[in-house]
Structure 1
Amino acid sequence: MNRHLEAAPGYRAGHTLPLRVEAVRQLRRRRTLVMGGLLAALPFILLIAFAVGDGDRPSRRITLMDTATASGLNFAAVSLFVSAGFLLVIPVALFCGDTVASEAGWSSLRYLLAAPVPRWRLLWSKLVVALAFSVAAIVLLPLVALVVGTVAYGWGPLRIPTGGSLPADEALLRLGLAVVFIVLSQLVTAGLAFWLSTRTDAPLGAVGGAVGLVILGNVLDAVTALEDWREFLPAHWQFAWLDALQPELVWDGMVKGTAVSLAYALVLFALAFRGFGRKDVVS
């Protein structure tokens, strides 16, 4: 059958299911619009919380949260801090975990493959689009927070809780570096969700399974008895991006965290392509 398809006039395996078509399909999904709306709304919710909260309560130790109203850059950094640990995991798990499993759940996966779309092309298109939407979701939050915070608190240097500050232009670059690290650290979540998406016909199972395993990683990282073994957990490095917002930029944590995330992600993506290539698709 494959020989006939390759010989068919005008047929090009690499031209099936273009990325633009897959992107439009995913963009029109209600869950995409809802997730984008929730992430864009979070900075406004935080702004209201800081407005009605008691910001003059004395504290023995100044934290990043205490500097949220110092400038728009501080507000954006705080928005990342309160969301990076769990909230930003959800859109990544959703976009990467739902993409293949939803097609199987709708019983449309076999029709896509009969179009004919090669399996590798189907997975590649869906993975690229899912990763692109995940990156957009992660970038959307600090971008909206920066705009909202600048309007509310003004444009100025980034105040550092340990003392001192970073000039606004340098702080903006540091904040961008932090976002890049968060994107890279979430690749392990993307890989896990995508692999589960190729193994099940239930989107909720793939998304929930990925989120559940991320939570398990956070729990294990809190077990200090594991000592150095915790360094092999992606969750151990999830806040390493805070090193980018210090007076002296420290790379060690971010480099190690990126290496751990990429190692797990590459294995999981490889398992997804290998398993789906051999899977008997009946949905």
Structure 2
Amino acid sequence: MSKHETANAELDHGVHTDPAALDELTEAARREQTEVGADGGVAGYRAGRTLRLGVELRRQLHRRRTQLVLGFVVLLPFILVVAFEVGQSSPNRRSGGFVDLATASAPNFVVLALFVAGGFLLPTIVALFFGDTIASEASWSSLKYLLAIPVPRHRVLRQKAIASGLLSVLALVLLPVVSLVVGLIWYGAGDAISPTGDAIPFGRSLAVIALATVYIVVQLAWVAGLALLLSVSTDAPLGAVGGAVLAAILSQILDQITALGSLRNYLPTHYSYAWMDLIANDIDWTNMAAGALSAVAYATVLSLIAARRFATKDITS
């Protein structure tokens, strides 16, 4: 039996052992507890096992603000139906704007839901999820403890951004899906009618709705990037969310000023409704391509600045 094993056996049975053996055993235990791995971390520590995505998603889904946002998205189509039922609408209309054609068929009802939510509600949802990522942890004074676990800063930002992105996509997809179901119940599976008079068969209109939803998700990426940047720059979640929403509103206001001419093309919201070009027999992809490229460019730059800002920020809360 080795000296360490003998000392361990004697300690287990309450038997005295010589001081030299005890000192050696204590030193060995200390070295074992403080042993470092090849990456310089404590033995057994794996950065990739900290702040797992599933844990963060479950945590976010249990938050009241997430439940309220998703609940309102589900409720909105029913509110629109009640509005049309209370008012006067003709389900057989084949002309007019998107609002006039909303009750013509289920696809038209989905188009209306995306149209009325696209200006304010959808950007606010994305801003809420991304603006609340880091700023909420800082406001709760839990960010410094999270980093002290330790969770690497880039992993904290990445995991929280991914969770926010998944929740945003869930909300953005949930709206047209629920609207389609509600529209089928109330208005039937008819053709999608455009204001120009083009009629798109129901089967093809489903693909159009799917593509429109994908475009909206991509186009709102710039809001996500801006909200993330504001979230790492302030300890006030409301400031981060409100700043991103105000930026979206300001961009929409400036986009209405025709005196700006071609400068409006560089506004992040200029192509917000380019998905409407899909509701036509001959689709013009120009505006959608420009809108997607603009949103991705804005989102990339803003996200890189956010990552740089968070990596060098002095965390005090």
- Shorter-chain TM band: over 0.9
| Pairwise CA distance, 1:204 | 0.2
The corresponding residue for 1:74 is 108
Q: Which residue type is aligned with residue 114 of structure 1?
A: A
The corresponding residue for 1:174 is 208
Q: What whole-Å deviation, never above 9, does each CA across 1:5-42 have from its counterpart, x for those lacking one? A: 74322222122101001101111110000011111111
Q: State the alpha-carbon separation in 2 of the partners of residues 211 and 3 from structure 1.
A: 46
The corresponding residue for 1:140 is 174
Aligned pairs, number:
279
The corresponding residue for 1:219 is 253
**Residue 43 of structure 1, aligned match among 77, 90, 96:** 77
Q: State the alpha-carbon separation in 1 of the partners of residues 284 and 205 from structure 2.
A: 14
Q: Which residue type is aligned with residue 278 of structure 2?
A: A
| Pairwise CA distance, 1:160 | 1.9
Cα pair 2:225 2:302 within 8 Å, conserved: yes
**Residue 151 of structure 2, aligned match among 107, 117, 128:** 117
The corresponding residue for 1:150 is 184
Stretches of structure 2 lacking an aligned partner (at least 5 in a row): 1-35
Q: What whole-Å deviation, never above 9, does each CA across 1:215-274 have from its counterpart, x for those lacking one? A: 111111111111001000111100100001112111100100011111110011001110
Matches within 5 A, 1:81-120: 81-120=115-154
Q: Which residue type is aligned with residue 93 of structure 1?
A: A
Q: State the alpha-carbon separation in 2 of the partners of residues 198 and 11 from structure 1.
A: 26
Is 2:270 the counterpart of 1:231? no
| Pairwise CA distance, 1:109 | 0.2
Q: What whole-Å deviation, never above 9, does each CA across 1:132-170 have from its counterpart, x for those lacking one? A: 111111111111100001011111221222113111111
Is 2:281 the counterpart of 1:281? no
Give the TM-score taking structure 2 as reference length.
Answer: 0.85
Q: State the alpha-carbon separation in 1 of the partners of residues 40 and 172 from structure 2.
A: 40
Q: Which residue type is aligned with residue 77 of structure 2?
A: P
Cα pair 1:100 1:198 within 8 Å, conserved: yes
Q: Which residue type is aligned with residue 245 of structure 2?
A: V
CA RMSD between the two structures: 1.6
Cα pair 1:6 1:12 within 8 Å, conserved: no
The corresponding residue for 2:51 is 17
Is 2:19 the counterpart of 1:8? no
Is 2:242 the counterpart of 1:208? yes
Is 2:164 the counterpart of 1:130? yes
Q: State the alpha-carbon separation in 2 of the partners of residues 69 and 146 from structure 1.
A: 12
Moved more, 163-172 or 193-202: 163-172
Q: Which residue type is aligned with residue 153 of structure 2?
A: R
**Residue 28 of structure 1, aligned match among 57, 62, 65:** 62
Q: State the alpha-carbon separation in 1 of the partners of residues 204 and 106 from structure 2.
A: 14
| Pairwise CA distance, 1:206 | 0.1
Q: State the alpha-carbon separation in 2 of the partners of residues 10 and 156 from structure 1.
A: 60
Q: State the alpha-carbon separation in 1 of the partners of residues 40 and 130 from structure 2.
A: 30
Q: State the alpha-carbon separation in 1 of the partners of residues 249 and 197 from structure 2.
A: 33
Cα pair 2:129 2:168 within 8 Å, conserved: yes
Moved more, 258-267 or 61-70: 61-70
What is the SS of the residue equivalent to 2:150?
A: coil
The corresponding residue for 1:264 is 298
**Residue 193 of structure 2, aligned match among 145, 152, 159:** 159
Q: State the alpha-carbon separation in 2 of the partners of residues 65 and 90 from structure 1.
A: 22
Cα pair 2:198 2:280 within 8 Å, conserved: no
Cα pair 1:5 1:11 within 8 Å, conserved: no
Q: What whole-Å deviation, never above 9, does each CA across 1:61-96 have from its counterpart, x for those lacking one? A: 711111111111111111101111111011100000
Closer/same/farther in 2, CA of residues 211 and 146 from structure 1, 3 Å limit:
same
Q: Which residue type is aligned with residue 220 of structure 1?
A: L
The corresponding residue for 2:10 is none
Give the TM-score taking structure 1 as reference length.
Answer: 0.95
What is the SS of the residue equivalent to 2:223?
A: helix
The corresponding residue for 2:229 is 195
| Pairwise CA distance, 1:52 | 1.2
Q: Which residue type is aligned with residue 109 of structure 1?
A: L
